[in-house]
Structure 1
Amino acid sequence: MLDNSVNLLPLDELLKFGLKQEFVNKLNTYTNVCFPVQSSVLPILLNNKNVFLPARDVVICSPTGSGKTLCYVLPILNNIHFVEDASAVYALIIAPSASLAEQIFKEFEKFNVFNTKIVALYGNTSYFHERSLLFPNNSCISQAHLIIATPGRLLDHLMDNDGNFINLSMLRFLVIDEADKMQDTARIEWLDVIERLSCASIASTNNLSISSLTNNYKQNCHLQKILVSATLLLDVNKLYIWNLRCPQLFLATDKEVEEENKQEQQNGESDQMSILLPECLNHKILICDQKLKPLILFQQIKLHMNEWNKIIIFVNKKQTSYRLSYLLHKLDSSNLFKLAELSSNLHRYRLLKLIKSFRNGKIRILIACDQFSRGVDVQDVDCVINYDVPINERIFIHRAGRTARAMKGGLLLSLFTKDEKMRLRKQLSGHNLWKNVEELNTYKVEDEEAIKQYKKALAQLESECLPKTFKRTRKRISGNDQ
């Protein structure tokens, strides 16, 4: 179990486990200590020096924003420096979404001090451009040491019959980020293909005889799998599909949760989800009238404009996203909010442009559905607002994980009716997440002029939401005026 109360590991201590000085120097430009999950995992992954015995697989379950990505970025880049074969893929990182794959790619690039050849395959550029990155100078064998990809895009390249070949025979690391999101389909869709194309299948037979370990060991590269997630089911049957070898589990928890998990395991309740909120998160619930919720949200944002520089509002449906965006624009007549809606109707380029504008402060507020709660890495989000009750605990965790990242403070504000509050409480209590929740007094709108303006905005919304104007209005509201 990972204990957030343990002493943080100084960066210089990583030198003892084999991390090169160049990486420590680079890390020092961002921080001077490792976070708790890094302090526990990095010594294990850095200290794999036995070329004969296969390394144990690793499962990391820690809150969003706790530094999980760096747990595998550093060991992979640190070890990949020794690779002699320029035409073999040494590490493969799989992410469920293009946005998360892009985030991981940027993290690798940030610490790529030895100019390792890294190729990203997630649809940010054309398929043919990706092929040219894999096979530069008309080479027939891929020249990438490290590939970051979404499953579908990776399969497209692996199965392409243009005569070129991606060599996975020396694959050393297979990282599955947000493994929980892919565990139901991974084995059927892509995991078998990767294991078959790599010599990992040799190691997975568990044939650890002297002859099997010494005969041509360079080809028997003993693939090490690293599963990463903010939420994970601790069910043997669920983990079994990944074909893990003697896995080491690193689970973020506190002593109270740990004791309850042990008790449940003794009682045979093994399907327990391991989830933990960021330690520096402040969760507040504001009770409000459903009919006035958009107006109350507007007034809350206006009241805290000097405190909340970056805000993400999560809703359950894209129709709600559109309606809320429309109403807030109408109520914010002076355009102080700098608001944008992340809609699936937007082209990917426009979507990434909006997220970039949010990062650099040109946009202060994003309204998004839950498909954007994973993989969107924005630092210093001051407040995340639950406008709708999340459909399950996993969604709640990933929403909350957009703030209070990297051990910095953050606010999660749930704007609910009394019934919605009870639903959330029931949902979270079973997973020890209903702790230190501050329940605020019921909010009442007393400004009659504000209510009048809100009703006017509602009337305009109803008149402009006819089928013939819906797409045109959404385009204007989202800022996609190309």
Structure 2
Amino acid sequence: MSFEDFNISSQVKQAILEMGFSKPTPIQQKAIPEALKGIDITAQAQTGSGKTIAFAVPVLEKIFIPDKSPQAIILCPTRELCMQVADEIGRVGSKIKKLKVLAVYGGQPIGKQTRVLKKGVHIIVGTPGRVIDHIERGNLDLIGIESVVLDEADEMLEMGFKEDIEKILSNTPSQRQTLLFSATIPSEIREIAKKYQKNPKFIKISSNKKNLPKITQYFYKCDIKDKFDSLTRLIRAYDVKLVLIFCNTKKSVDFVKKHLKKQEFNVDALHGDMTQKARDKVMNKFRNGNINILVATDVAARGLDIDGVDVVINYDVAQNADDYTHRIGRTARAGKTGYAFSLVSKDEISRFNNIKKSNRISEKQIPTLLEINEIKSQLILDEIKKSKDNVDEYIKIIKKNEANSTELAARLLKMIIEN
């Protein structure tokens, strides 16, 4: 199946093609045709499965541009996810002239958002708290809403937004279409679906088989006193561009950041005690490559969607399988490959064994200094083998110099690793 097979406008098809997508992901294949019929959907799909496009397409197809009042509202758990979702909807709708998409969230002056709302907006992407704020101030009237999307609904409920979500839904017309996307479907999600959706179609995309095939998962048993040394060895061995390290507490985040800085790694941290301005600054540094290692707690990293994260390292074992899935889903985005490593101390084994039941995680030993070079070499060779570039010109040069090809390859490899 390709996007050409969907009954959607040429503008949306062209925009998706220019974004580099030709084949829909499993969630897009299942959700888009159903949503285009106007029916309600409850979809279980992980972060990184392509769900934003799965709801962006049907939402955009219903927008009537001459009407400048809000026609769709997408609720997200965090400021970061709001910005990312609004940006992606803008890209999918980039060929639709005069389309207006606005992200509303806390941490940004409300006056600026109010001015844009008064000029006219077709699609609102917002955090529940800030959306409620605009409704109560009279800035946002939801009477013309035709589509409501709850994105990462389980995370919104975990963060205490249930009352806000229900208040927003009760302010929208009863004939609206409601699309609910969630990585897990706990009882609270089922209650909301029952109360606010009309005969929803349930779609489930298996996380293990379909969304995480390109993540190589390893775990390493180590004493708690050796954890930090183990961490640095893994970072050095895999020599990657972007690394995301998860810790369970702010104290642990601060410890890891401080000691990585001492070893001159380009690192910064995210945790719940930071101001929004400070968090934005760190995120921009990570996105722009000014730092290549980010240490974070689960709460601070909710909704993060950064392209190019090569490795996720669980410095502390996740509290449960769902949190583990959310963490490792930050790598291998958009069809790329990635690694997920977990450092497991004795007091974490029981918790980790529960996670391991639903994930394919192989045990490995922390690499020795000699093995670090071997791993680096193998990764480089794997990349070279994958290359489809024409090298005939270079083969001629090698032959002309009558060089021993094996020795020459070894010397080049040494130069690459050591530089």
Q: TM-score range by the shorter chain?
A: 0.7 to 0.9
Aligned-pair CA distance for 1:236: 8.1
- Which residue is equivalent to 2:169? 194
- Which residue is equivalent to 1:471? none
The 2-side partners of 1:146 and 1:236 are apart by 24
The 2-side partners of 1:193 and 1:37 are apart by 26
The 3 A distance-change label for structure 1 pair 165 and 370 is closer
Q: CA RMSD in A?
A: 2.5
Residue 9 of structure 2 is aligned to residue 20 of structure 1: yes
The 3 A distance-change label for structure 1 pair 237 and 346 is closer
Q: Which range moves more in the overlay, 117-126 or 373-382?
A: 117-126
> Is the 8 Å Cα contact of residues 285 and 440 (structure 1) preserved in structure 2?
yes
Residue 325 of structure 1 aligns with an amino acid whose one-letter code is K
> Is the 8 Å Cα contact of residues 187 and 241 (structure 1) preserved in structure 2?
no
Residue 256 of structure 2 aligns with an amino acid whose one-letter code is L
> Is the 8 Å Cα contact of residues 48 and 211 (structure 2) preserved in structure 1?
no
- Which residue is equivalent to 1:467? none
> Is the 8 Å Cα contact of residues 296 and 445 (structure 1) preserved in structure 2?
no
The 2-side partners of 1:282 and 1:170 are apart by 46
Residue 213 of structure 2 is aligned to residue 246 of structure 1: no
> Is the 8 Å Cα contact of residues 313 and 340 (structure 2) preserved in structure 1?
yes
**Partner secondary structure for residue 212 of structure 2:** coil
> Is the 8 Å Cα contact of residues 146 and 173 (structure 2) preserved in structure 1?
no
Given the alignment, which residue of 140, 144, 152 partners 2:121?
Answer: 144
Aligned-pair CA distance for 1:191: 1.6
> Is the 8 Å Cα contact of residues 92 and 175 (structure 1) preserved in structure 2?
yes
Aligned-pair CA distance for 1:59: 1.1
Aligned-pair CA distance for 1:310: 0.7
- Which residue is equivalent to 1:223? 176
Aligned-pair CA distance for 1:231: 2.1
- Which residue is equivalent to 1:434? 359
Residue 252 of structure 2 is aligned to residue 320 of structure 1: yes
**Partner secondary structure for residue 175 of structure 1:** strand
Aligned-pair CA distance for 1:347: 3.4
Identity fraction in percent: 28
The 3 A distance-change label for structure 1 pair 240 and 61 is closer
Aligned-pair CA distance for 1:428: 4.2
Residue 87 of structure 2 is aligned to residue 106 of structure 1: yes
Q: TM-score, normalised by structure 2?
A: 0.81
Residue 135 of structure 2 aligns with an amino acid whose one-letter code is L
1:272-319 per-position Cα deviation (integer Å, ceiling 9, x unaligned): xxxx852211110011121011112112212221xx111000000011
- Which residue is equivalent to 1:393? 321
- Which residue is equivalent to 1:209? none
The 3 A distance-change label for structure 1 pair 27 and 348 is same
- Which residue is equivalent to 1:285? 219
- Which residue is equivalent to 1:132? 115
Residue 246 of structure 2 aligns with an amino acid whose one-letter code is F
**Partner secondary structure for residue 11 of structure 2:** helix
**Partner secondary structure for residue 196 of structure 2:** coil
The 3 A distance-change label for structure 1 pair 186 and 363 is closer
The 3 A distance-change label for structure 1 pair 367 and 134 is same
Structure 2: gaps of 5 or more residues:
371-419
Aligned-pair CA distance for 1:444: 7.1
**Partner secondary structure for residue 366 of structure 1:** strand
The 2-side partners of 1:62 and 1:376 are apart by 16
The 3 A distance-change label for structure 1 pair 119 and 391 is same
> Is the 8 Å Cα contact of residues 308 and 333 (structure 2) preserved in structure 1?
yes
The 3 A distance-change label for structure 1 pair 64 and 190 is closer
Aligned-pair CA distance for 1:109: 1.7
**Partner secondary structure for residue 64 of structure 1:** coil
Residue 32 of structure 2 aligns with an amino acid whose one-letter code is L
The 3 A distance-change label for structure 1 pair 117 and 236 is closer
Aligned-pair CA distance for 1:74: 1.5
The 1-side partners of 2:23 and 2:193 are apart by 35
**Partner secondary structure for residue 232 of structure 1:** coil
> Is the 8 Å Cα contact of residues 313 and 341 (structure 2) preserved in structure 1?
yes
> Is the 8 Å Cα contact of residues 42 and 193 (structure 2) preserved in structure 1?
no
Q: TM-score, normalised by structure 1?
A: 0.71
- Which residue is equivalent to 2:291? 363
1:424-467 per-position Cα deviation (integer Å, ceiling 9, x unaligned): 112442xxx233x2101366789xxxxxxxxxxxxxxxxxxxxx
Residue 32 of structure 2 is aligned to residue 31 of structure 1: no
Given the alignment, which residue of 81, 103, 112 partners 1:120?
Answer: 103
- Which residue is equivalent to 2:275? 347
- Which residue is equivalent to 2:398? none
Residue 369 of structure 1 aligns with an amino acid whose one-letter code is T
Aligned-pair CA distance for 1:128: 1.2
The 3 A distance-change label for structure 1 pair 236 and 170 is closer
> Is the 8 Å Cα contact of residues 312 and 366 (structure 1) preserved in structure 2?
yes
1:311-349 per-position Cα deviation (integer Å, ceiling 9, x unaligned): 00000001111111111122x1xx3x3111123444323
- Which residue is equivalent to 1:178? 152
**Residues 291-310 of structure 1 correspond to what in structure 2 (within 5 A)?**
291-305=225-239, 308-310=240-242
Aligned-pair CA distance for 1:43: 1.5
